[in-house]
Amino acid sequence: MQSFDWGKRTYLMGVINITPDSFSGDGILSHKDPIKQATLQAQEFVQAGAHILDLGAESSRPGSHTISTEQELKRLLPILKAIKSINLDAAISIDTCKSKTAQICLEEGADWINDIWGLQADTALANIIHSFGATVVLMHNRSQAHAIRDLGVIGKSYQGSDYQNLIEEIKADLSASIRIAKQAGIQEEKIILDPGIGFGKSVEQNLAIINHLDEFRCLGFPILIGPSRKSFIGQILDLPVEEREEGTAAAIAIGIARGADIIRVHNVRAMARVAKVSDAILGRLEGNL
């Protein structure tokens, strides 16, 4: 089982999209043999440096449609079981906000639940996570299904919500999620925070979150960021999703410098290199170079 020593290095979470409509274009359900493709991707990610594999079966891209728990599990379970069977040295995270999905996946050996609604969408989810002793990622999210901008070849983007004080309001919302987790009995060492880059934030708001990421350290938990290939990068560079690797690298390098503990990425090999050099500059790899 993968262990984590926060503050000593940056950890990588590799995204495995078990969807037909991922915004990043890497949804594996379009492959002839999705189980084989997912297993190969998981192996390649771990070999390239991933410490966590994040399996998601419901797209959260702007304009995506909600799927049922049954459909989510139909996509997830065969791939979760296949990846578990090859005993990779990585924690397995399930990207879901549904308590029933979380329960069944945790029963099948998943380690983390990555909830894009920070335990505020399904009231039963926190208790399920606690009952299994699982780790939870609490993400900040003010996105609204109707508040979407169509940017043509760049894709779609959630409109930024109105904030009087962006960082302080995100901290307050995350604190509410933390309280839900603690009230359910989830231990502090099992909590990770994600400020929710791209979810109900404008380009300027996303940039401010990355540039002021260190201000979330006062909440006392590890920080995860997921800027990988997001629309704000496309809007800055005026580039489609398949041409955002350099922009992703820049966002990740600055995010690490500002205190990110985990980076959630699509291209593990390239971003592992970005993380390693960033860690070296910050003096986190002394004795390991």
Domain of residue 130, residue span:
11-281
What is the total count of domains within the chain?
1
Is 156 catalytic? The answer is no
Q: What is the pLDDT of residue 120?
A: 96
Does some domain include residue 170? yes
Please identify which residue in the block is written with the tokens 């335990």: 119
Does some domain include residue 87? yes
Phi, psi (rounded to 5 degrees) for 94: -115, 120
Q: What is the pLDDT of residue 3?
A: 85
Helix axis angle, 69-85 relative to 99-107, nearest 10°? 20
Tell me the per-residue pLDDT of 105-159, one tens digit each, with 9 for 90 and over: 999 999 999 999 999 999 999 999 999 999 999 999 997 665 566 666 666 666 6
Is 32 catalytic? The answer is no
Q: What is the CATH classification number for the domain harbouring 74?
A: 3.20.20.20
13 exposure class (CB count in 10 Å sphere: 0-12, 13-18, 19+):
buried
Does some domain include residue 258? yes
Does some domain include residue 257? yes
Please count the CA atoms within 13 angstroms of the CA of 55 that sit on its side-chain side. Answer: 34
More confident residue, 216 or 146: 216
Strand ranges in the chain using DSSP code E only, listed in sequence order: 11-17, 52-56, 91-95, 112-115, 135-139, 148-150, 156-158, 191-194, 224-225, 262-265
Does some domain include residue 22? yes
Does some domain include residue 289? no
Q: Which of 201, 229, 244, 264 is catalytic?
A: 264
Does some domain include residue 86? yes
Does some domain include residue 286? no
Q: Which of 61, 229, 230, 258 is catalytic?
A: 230
Tell me the per-residue pLDDT of 51-90, one tens digit each, with 9 for 90 and over: 999 999 997 665 557 889 999 999 999 999 999 999 999 9
Percent of the chain with pLDDT over 90: 80
